Amino acid sequence: MKSKRQRLSYTPRSQVRSALRRLWLRSRERRACLKRDHYTCVDCNRKQTKAKGKEFIVEVDHLDGIDWEQMIDRMYDRLLVQPQYLETVCHECHDKRTAFRKQIGT
């Protein structure tokens, strides 16, 4: 008899971290930085290559650093909230609610 895997009642941190990483790796900002610097390390001037046997990959570094765990915490605080803090509404009503919140400044 197969045991049923119990589903978590929340989105696991690993899934949030993975989604943020995918977003970053596909972002226009990251791509623009790579393009601006010609896929070349600004410290040693080595250029990225995928040539077999000569692979060299460059990365994009946040100059101010980035605290991924704090960012994930923020996702749970504001976006991935408990269901009691969520309601199902149609697109039009959602737009009205959003406009109202902006109007009153919340």
How many CA atoms does the CB half-sphere of 62 hold within 13 Å?
8
pLDDT exceeds cutoff 70 at 8:
yes
**CA distances from residue 19 to 15, 49, 59, 69, 79 in whole angstroms, order as listed:** 6, 26, 18, 13, 13
Q: Distance between CA 94 and CA 82 in Å, rounded?
A: 19
**CA distances from residue 67 to 27, 52, 61, 86 in whole angstroms, order as listed:** 18, 34, 13, 27
Residue 67 contacts residue 58 (beta carbons within 8 Å): no
pLDDT exceeds cutoff 60 at 2:
no
Over residues 44-73, the pLDDT tens digits come to 999 999 999 999 999 999 999 999 999 999
> Does the predicted model carry a pTM greater than 0.85?
no
* Single-letter amino acid, residue 48: Q
* Domain edges within the chain: 13-104
Query: What is the per-residue pLDDT for 3?
Result: 59
